[in-house]
Amino acid sequence: MRNQKKRDTIAAIATPYGESAIGIVRLSGHKTVEILKKIFKTRSKNLKPRYAHYGLIMDKEGQPIDEAVVIYYKAPHSYTGEDMAEINLHGNPLILKKVLNLLLESGARLAEPGEFTKRAFLNGKLDLTQAEAVAELIGAKTELARKLALNQLQGALSREIKPLREELLMLLALVESSIEFEEEDIPTIEKDELQRRLEKILKQVNKLLQTAATGKALRQGIKLAIVGKPNVGKSSLFNRLLGSERAIVTDIAGTTRDYIEETINIKGIPISLIDTAGIRETADVVEKIGVQRSLQKLKEADLIILVLDASNPDLEEEDLKLINLVKETKKPLLVVLNKIDKGQKLDTKKIPIPNVEVVKVSAKTGEGIEELKEKILQKVGVQTAEGGNIYISVRHEQLLKKAKKALENALTYLREGEFYSPEILMLDLREAAEALGEILGEITTEDILGQIFSTFCIGK
């Protein structure tokens, strides 16, 4: 438990802005009951914890604002670990705002983004990985992302990290005891045993690190830009991947004057799919602006799909210019040979890109589209998500890499060090343990907490 001194009582609207059947205002802190007694009139003599109490919210002049159902949670048996209440009202934004202002006038202050969850963390109700999962669960864009965020909220990642940190702390204690009690009958550890146990920890750290690309894709999505010369079938491919006729398709070159962006879901991974304007030299002012925007989207993309015409036996000058352009970006690249329903006449050996992956499709018939989806995920390092239940975030990745480096330094010293010095070894073990502790929030700073919880919505 992270016992904290008495804090301000905070309040916030917990439901999204807009009209709805129900709206909720949250209150948390040591003045919760005191404030409720000022504004909430009910027949109940006492606010019995975890019971729904019906009554009226009254303003300072004694006039009713709205009917309400209030649920009071007594510390420490609440989300935040403090006295807390949820005020259920009719979901009119005017009512919710009026009640919130009344709470602020009655002794509460407006909660900061994520402050309810931050207090839950500080009061030991959640560790930091679980607190992060709250925001991820709210913002999940796919069913898979929702399931994985819920797994993390229920402690899946914590259950992987905690035993590794506990093992490191145990090893650290054994190494330290060999210094402090060298001549006494105190348990110590042999170098071979220490090496074996550190190798086992490192193996688990590496296993978690392998999920980083998938974790990033799940949380942030993948930006995928489709490029190609005009009339090569980019918009047809875009529509086929999207599963609807979003982009206008004609036989007239230059139909797409500006980029079109939509989100698709490939095996639970959100993909921001961008159909760019055909990139070519043009005197048309509008088309020229579209080309410039397309070039900007290439710079932002995580993956580029270059579409070539499989039915054309030769690459044209516009194709070659595009090939040089995408090579300059140094972005991951897939070449798609479209229109194979007309027969493949283009020899892939003519494509001047070393070791490029080529996928043959027909945007018209759908042939090869499923293979293309698989290649898209593989190209950005996403593992097939089915069956997995842990995918680390960028923050976790940075700290696991720090732990990995410290473990590798310790193992190198044990394997190659001519003289064994427990003092030197302890530095690496401590650094690895601290990195894992920072993932869980056992070791952290106010700056780090501020950065994490600033991404939350107010009221959560």
CA distance 378 to 306: 16
Please determine, looking at this structure, whether the domain spanning 10-125 carries the CATH number 3.40.50.150. Answer: no
**Domain spans of the chain?**
10-125, 137-211+391-441, 220-379
Find all residues with CB under 8 Å of 184, minimum gap 6, and list them.
none
What topology does CATH give the domain 220-379? Answer: Rossmann fold (3.40.50)
CA distance 364 to 71: 57
Please determine, looking at this structure, whether the domain spanning 137-211+391-441 carries the CATH number 1.20.120.430. Answer: yes
Please give the chain's pLDDT, 460 residues, in tens.
Answer: 444 445 899 999 999 888 999 999 999 999 999 999 999 999 887 899 999 999 999 999 999 999 999 999 999 999 999 999 999 999 999 999 999 999 999 999 999 999 999 999 999 999 999 999 998 998 888 888 888 899 999 999 999 999 999 999 999 888 887 665 555 555 567 888 899 999 999 999 999 999 998 888 888 889 998 888 888 888 888 888 887 554 434 443 444 444 578 888 888 889 988 887 655 555 454 445 556 666 676 778 899 999 999 999 888 888 888 888 888 888 889 999 999 999 999 888 889 988 888 999 998 899 999 999 999 998 888 875 554 688 899 999 999 999 999 999 999 988 887 666 778 888 999 999 999 999 999 877 777 788 788 878 888 8
Closest CA to 302 of 339, 270, 280: 270
Report whether 421 contacts 75 (CB < 8 A).
no
Closest CA to 24 of 92, 103, 87: 87
Run of H or E residues at 333: strand 333-338
Report whether 26 contacts 86 (CB < 8 A).
yes
Closest CA to 322 of 345, 343, 351: 351
Number of H-type helices and E-type strands within the chain: 15, 13
Report whether 11 contacts 84 (CB < 8 A).
no
In b/e form, how buried is each residue of 260-272, taking b as 16+ CB within 10 angstroms?
Answer: bebebebebbbbb
Sheet holding 109-110, edge to edge: 40-42, 52-58, 64-73, 84-91, 20-28, 10-13, 109-110
Full-model pTM = 0.79
